[in-house]
Amino acid sequence: MSLIRTRIAPTPSGRLHPGNAVSFIMTWALARTTGGHILLRIDDLDKARRRVDYLDDIFTNLEWLGIDYDEGPAGVDDFLRHWSQHTRLERYQAALDQLQQAGHLFACQCSRRQIQERSPKGVYRGHCRELQLDFFAPKTAWRVLVPNHTEIRLRDWRWGSRSLNLSGYLGDFVVRQKNGLPAYQIASLVDDEDFGINFVVRGEDLLSSTAAQLYLAQLLGKSTFPRSIFWHHALWKDHLGEKLSKSKGAGSLAEWREQGQSIGPLFQQAAHWLEIRKTVTTPAALLDALASRGVERIQPPPQ
């Protein structure tokens, strides 16, 4: 069986919340149970929202949870010097240049409000496709052309195979922002491909992002990411049935710790989503339970 290479990929745009923790715990447990390799990848493209205390929050919480990793920054200073996505901008731009030169991109000057007015669901409907706008004009984003009825298939750990109509979910999505920075989809793909990631655990709300990244990998002729296995787990919701998120002010792990709460409920929730029907409240207990149950289905193909 090929070595599992996965990643924990927090964003320093706010403090981590319990939903983040459970996703990280499951990623860690599945990798450790199978002898896999874990990368800590911090997605910090959005410098305006990145704060040193949010970065410190990531390292503090991983230590509190008992989550270790094999590759990545040792702390905030090491991250800023050697691991920030802003040290990899040339890699992202190279991928964008390849897409542009192959004719897969077009320039777009639509605002979010205009897109929302044309499509209540916010799906871009190709307004600027044929306008041949200047790629380097001010306030211009780059979008990738997604033909109608574009179906993306992915290898799912739980379901075996899934498909998604990318054109229906996202339409022509942004790969370079109006501020000139690469968008999340292209940066995430390039990072995962460069670091050899072949197993990705993420929330069900990121299914369309997985499809977008697989589409980009196809256009760029990538070899590792398209062969990856994915697991899109359920979302931990609040008492109103809304998913926990930083933008909606979900209670943070920092508050959780300050209130004297233990890591037990977080590991129990992870065990529940991993279909482990026993009490699990510690890292060691989760690894033991998962090893007893077996995770033989995580089998990326040989490289």
What is the pLDDT of the chain when averaged over all its residues? 91
- Is the model more confident about 64 or about 296? 64
pLDDT in tens, 126-176: 899 999 999 999 999 999 999 999 999 999 888 788 999 999 989 999 999
- Could you please report the per-residue DSSP string of 30-72? HHHHTT-EEEE------TTT--HHHHHHHHHHHHHHT---SBS
The residue to which tokens 């787990």 are assigned: 233
**Pairing relationship of beta strands 229-233 and 151-156 according to DSSP bridges:** parallel
Structure confidence at residue 118 as a pLDDT band (50, 70, 90): confident
pLDDT value, residue 123: 86
pLDDT of 102 strictly over 80: yes
pLDDT value, residue 131: 95
Q: Does residue 186 contact residue 175 with C-beta atoms inside 8 Å? A: yes
In a domain, 154, yes or no: yes
Structurally, the chain folds into a number of domains equal to 1
pLDDT of 5 strictly over 90: yes
pLDDT of 114 strictly over 80: yes
% the chain with pLDDT above 90: 77
Mean pLDDT score, 111-140: 90
- Is the model more confident about 2 or about 204? 204
pLDDT value, residue 231: 94
In a domain, 34, yes or no: yes
In a domain, 302, yes or no: no
pLDDT value, residue 54: 97
pLDDT in tens, 266-278: 999 999 999 898 9
pLDDT value, residue 298: 60
In a domain, 298, yes or no: no
Segments forming the whole domain that contains residue 139: 5-293
pLDDT value, residue 133: 96
Q: Does residue 146 contact residue 170 with C-beta atoms inside 8 Å? A: yes
In a domain, 300, yes or no: no
In a domain, 13, yes or no: yes
In a domain, 228, yes or no: yes
- Tokens at 233, concatenated: 């787990």
Q: Does residue 23 contact residue 54 with C-beta atoms inside 8 Å? A: no
Mean pLDDT score, 16-26: 95
In a domain, 158, yes or no: yes
Domain of residue 87, CATH code:
3.40.50.620
Structure confidence at residue 1 as a pLDDT band (50, 70, 90): very low
